[in-house]
Amino acid sequence: MAVPIKYVVRNFKSRKLTTIITVAGIALVVLVFAAVLMMAYGVEKTLVSTGSAENIKVLRKASQGEISSIIDDDTQNIIKSLPHIAKTAEGEQIISSEPVVIINLEIKGGGLSNITLRGVNQQAFQLRPNIKIIEGRKFNPSLRELIVGISISKKFVNAQIGSKVKFAGDYWTIVGLFEDSGSGFESELWGDASQLLNAFNRGSAVSTITLKLDNLNNFEKFQSYFETDKRLKQFEIKTEQKFFEEQSEFLAGFIRVLGTFITIIFSFGAIIGAAITMYASVANRTVEIGTMRSLGFNRRSILTAFMLESLIIAIIGAAVGLFFASFLQFFSISTLNWNSFAELSFSFALSTSIVISSFIFAIVMGLVGGFLPSVRAARLNIVSALRGG
């Protein structure tokens, strides 16, 4: 005979305070757990959205990021001679050879941080059509001018339109503010590639090349031409999206591992709280348990009833924790991306998998915390239970 669910739910009223405290404890742990996963997913989402699946990125093999990749002038010319590179209506190749360097900017609250400075040409804006100048204008290729991502402009001193940034022994004027749907480009400064190469005395060697194919279906053909050219054996190609996705793996993985470890430590407190609540429930209902046993409810039914009670507490706690965690999506934070060694601004992001993982985590806490008290309830002697002890 199964114990009615109505009985299980009714018993919450008899110990409101302990139930609320237990729900709050589980909710807090779920909040921390979800926040960690949302942070890691936010990093991935930001960097993946930085790259386009339609763009191809060329870089030196084994380079950990753009700043550690170098492509000389001869190699650039070889790449530009390959077939299947898209062209504009005027017949220009849609390709951007980009030097990438790191500079320091002062944070508004104090201290310095590394910022990615990217050199681009006019074709770069065709490669990234989501880049929008929301204030000011584009830089003049003939002048030492920059445009700044909205995330950098908000956080750093002298990173606003009209400000001057000093690096490479000269002052550069910020003339435009841009956004890119929350991508990693919003954490960069952009200027003319030729101007940057000249300022840093790099000759014509760039960090990476980004290009567009005439047809994305020709990727394998382009890759075949690229890989069979012995002069390009030190280089590799990837879709831009895949490149930036790989850039997120180390940081996101570290956040997940460290955060999950901390959350598991916190979860012990929630499990103990659930166990105390359930033990108190058993102690207060020994006579009821004895009565149910004498009416024909078997031990398995009693065990199931108390486990269900613990499970409901865990699910409510998970729902409360996720409710508050969902508000984190309105906040943006920044950290140092260890692959690029530069500032990366990103927002917390919630996904279906995070919701499912959080509920599973809470359910495990509830089941572990409620198991021993439920076993004790199921094993109570009928006569002793009816006597209240």
pLDDT digits (tens, 9 = 90+) for 181-201: 889 999 999 999 999 999 999
CA–CA dist 202, 6 (Å, integer): 76
φ, ψ (nearest 5 deg) of residue 84:
75, 15
138-175 pLDDT, tens digit per residue, is 999 999 999 999 999 999 998 999 999 999 889 999 99
* Cα 222 to the center of its chain, rounded Å: 32
Alpha helices (H) in 229-351, listed in sequence order: 240-284, 286-294, 299-326
Whether residue 123 sits in one domain with residue 17? no
Are residues 43 and 76 located together in one domain of the fold? no
Question: Is there a single domain that holds both residue 154 and residue 36?
Answer: no
When divided into structural domains, the chain yields a total of 2
**Full domain range(s) for residue 308:** 5-48+247-386
Residue 188 DSSP class: E
Q: Are 381 and 154 in contact (CB under 8 A)?
A: no
Question: Would you place residue 26 in the very low, low, confident or very high pLDDT band (cuts 50, 70, 90)?
Answer: confident
Residue given tokens 């405290």 in the structure block = 21
Q: Identify whether 217 is part of a domain.
A: yes
Q: Is the model's pLDDT at 3 over the cut of 70?
A: no
CB 326 within 8 A of CB 349: no
Phi and psi at 103, nearest 5°, equal -125, 170
Which of 233, 261, 286 represents a domain boundary (last residue)? 233
Tell whether 76 and 215 lie within a shared domain.
Answer: yes
Asked if residues 97 and 274 have their Cβ atoms less than 8 Å apart, the reply is no
Tell me the per-residue pLDDT of 73-108, one tens digit each, with 9 for 90 and over: 999 999 999 999 999 888 899 999 999 999 999 998
Is 239 among the domain residues? no
pLDDT of residue 343: 82
Q: How confident is the model at residue 386 (pLDDT cuts 50, 70, 90)?
A: low
pTM value?
Answer: 0.81
Whether residues 124 and 85 share a domain: the answer is yes
- Over residues 45-67, the pLDDT tens digits come to 898 888 888 899 999 998 888 98
Both 74 and 218 in a single domain?
yes
Residue with tokens 């199931």: 304
Q: Which of 187, 209, 233 is the last residue of a domain?
A: 233
* 74 and 42 in a common domain: no
Q: Of 183, 211, 233, which residue is a domain's last? A: 233
| Count helices and strands in the chain by DSSP H and E runs | 12, 13
